[in-house]
Copies of this chain bind each other. A is one copy, B any other.
Amino acid sequence: MAIRRFSEKKLTGEVLKRIRGTKNPRLKQVMASFIRHMHAFVRDVKPTQEEWFEGIKFLTETGRLERQEFVLMSDTLGVSMLVDALNYKANAGSTESTVLGPFHRQKAPRYALGANISKNRGDGIPCRITGTIRNLKGRPIAGAELDVWEAGADGFYDMQKGKAMNLRGIFKADAKGHFHFRCVRPEFYPVPHDGPVGKMLRATGRHPMRPPHLHFWITAKGYKPLITHLFVKGGRYLDSDAVFGVKPELIIDFKKGKDGAATAHYDFVLMKAK
């Protein structure tokens, strides 16, 4: 038995050879590409053993946090928006998508149209959102579901403060595709920056801020789910969102109503599922 010696050049080929038995062809493709790009990165930067171990420690710390720190890492390195761009090409007037982020929760409360998703009255500036959900032909999608979530005026999502659901809810559009609900006017806030992501942002001279926005996940039978934001026109950090999530088409006016509340309107357009 001849035992081969793998030079730094031949090692990548040997690792690729080892995974030739992968049964799932898609997994084989993804793993082969990952091995190639990972090895290319290592060959490019030539880490010392100490640097390599710093990297291992950093990944381990990222995985150990209770919250979804790897999602945040993906978001802050532009990877999530890249995945979004590769998958969701808005066309013929359908609404642009953006990142899911780490703050969506399953089973948010279901509300009747008009309800307020903020349970703490007097928290932040009251806000009314109205709009429609339509298809590419402009026809209303009756019964489309709109899952909305936002940070509070203090910059925190409910789950950053406890288990109780707040500032999130699911609404069903009426027969004409209309929806309306109340919330608090979104304010800018920092992504969680007391962990590895925060360390990375500080070390690379970046701020952790996201511009003011409402987050949406809109679904309807026969249509492609839409994950998107509405951003407040004139809000801070629109040009330097820590997660690269801003698209100009999603920036809208939040006007001041007669009663001092903010009001905004948006017509979402879904595309057909394939």
Question: Chain A: residues with CB nearer than 8 A to chain B?
Answer: 1, 3-8, 11-12, 14-15, 18-24, 27-31, 33-35, 37-49, 51-52, 56, 59-64, 68-71, 74, 77-87, 100, 200, 203-206, 238-240, 244, 246-249, 251
Contacts and interface: CB of A to CB of B under 8 A. Distances in A.
A42 B3 contact: no
Given A38-B37, A64-B63, A83-B47, A19 B205 contact: yes
Contacts of A41: 33-34, 37-38
B78 A68 contact: no
Given A82-B39, A238-B1, A244-B6, A30 B45 contact: yes
B37 A56 contact: no
A27 B204 contact: yes
Nearest to A30: B45
12 contacts: A3-B251, A4-B248, A15-B77, A15-B244, A19-B206, A21-B205, A30-B45, A34-B45, A46-B87, A47-B83, A49-B100, A56-B74
A60 B45 CA distance: 25
Contacts of A239: 1, 3-4
Contacts of A82: 8, 11-12, 39, 42-43
Contact of A87 (B22, B29, B37, B49): B49
A70 B81 contact: no
Contacts of A24: 203
